Amino acid sequence: MKILVTGFEPFGGEAVNPAWEAVKNLPQQIGRNEITAMLIPVVRYESLKAISEKIEEIRPDAVICVGQAGGRKAVSFERIGINCDDYPSFGDNEGNKPVDEKIFADGPDAYFSTLPVRRMKEACEAAGTAAEISNTAGTYVCNHVLYGVRHYCTQHHPEIISGFIHVPFLPEQTADKEKEYPSMPLEDIIRGLEAAIAVLGEGQE
C-alpha cells in the first residue's frame, strides 16, 4: 500500500511535537507499505488543505494522521471524529478560537475511522508500546483533521482509508512543567507506529 502519514508542527509553546518527531523518523518502507511523511500546520482548514493537496498529488491507499495528546500514557488509536471545532481558550497556531462551530456545514455529525484500529492497537502492544483505543479525539485541530480527512475522502476518494493516532508527550517535554505528565520515549512511539502501520499491508479486510 501507499500510505501518507502526517505529523503536526509544534504548538502551545512546545519546542517539538512528538507526532512529527516520530513520523519524520519512520522508514520509507514498512513491510509492504510505501510511506510518505508530511508535516502539517496546527491551523484549522489549512491542515486539511495541505492534506487534500497531497492526496491529489500522490493518490495514497491510506492516510494516517498523527498528533500530540499531552496527558495520555499510551499511543491512542482514535475511533471517531465529530463535526465540531471548539477551543475558545486555546487557539491554534494562527490564533483561531472557534466556539461550537461545525467543521463542514453539510457534513454528518461524525465519521468513524476506517483504519483497522483494533488490529493496529494490538500490533502496537505486541511490539512493546503501550496502546489503547480512544473514543474521543477532542475538539481541537486533531479532531478537525480526523473528521475533515474522512469527509474529503468520502466525497472524493471513497477507496482511501484514513484515521488518526494520538501519541504522548516526549520525556523532555515534561521535565520543566509544574504539573506531572506521563510521557513516552521517541523510540517507543516510532516502534509502535511501525508495527501498527505494518498491519495495513497484511491483505486482510
CA 26 from chain centre, in angstroms, equals 14
pLDDT at 203: 56
Cell 483494533 locates to 118
Angle at 107 between CA 101 and CA 113, to 5 degrees: 100
Residue of 165, 145, 113, 156 whose CA lies nearest to 44: 145
CA–CA separation, 197 and 161 (whole Å): 12
Average pLDDT over residues 29-58: 97
pLDDT beyond 90 at 72: yes
CA–CA separation, 59 and 193 (whole Å): 21
Contact 133, 124 (CB under 8 A): no
Active site residues: 78, 142, 166
* Per-residue pLDDT tens over the stretch 90-106: 999 999 999 999 999 99
pLDDT at 179: 80
Average pLDDT over residues 68-83: 97
- Where is pLDDT greater, at 34 or 201? 34
Polymer length in residues for the chain: 205
CATH 3.40.50.300 applies to domain 2-201: no
* Per-residue pLDDT tens over the stretch 121-180: 999 999 999 999 999 999 999 999 999 999 999 999 999 999 999 999 999 999 877 788
pLDDT at 42: 98
* Per-residue pLDDT tens over the stretch 22-34: 999 999 999 989 9
pLDDT beyond 80 at 202: no
pLDDT at 204: 42
Q: Which pTM does this prediction carry?
A: 0.95
Q: What's the sign of the alpha-carbon dihedral 40, 46, 50, 52?
A: positive
Annotated domain spans of the chain: 2-201
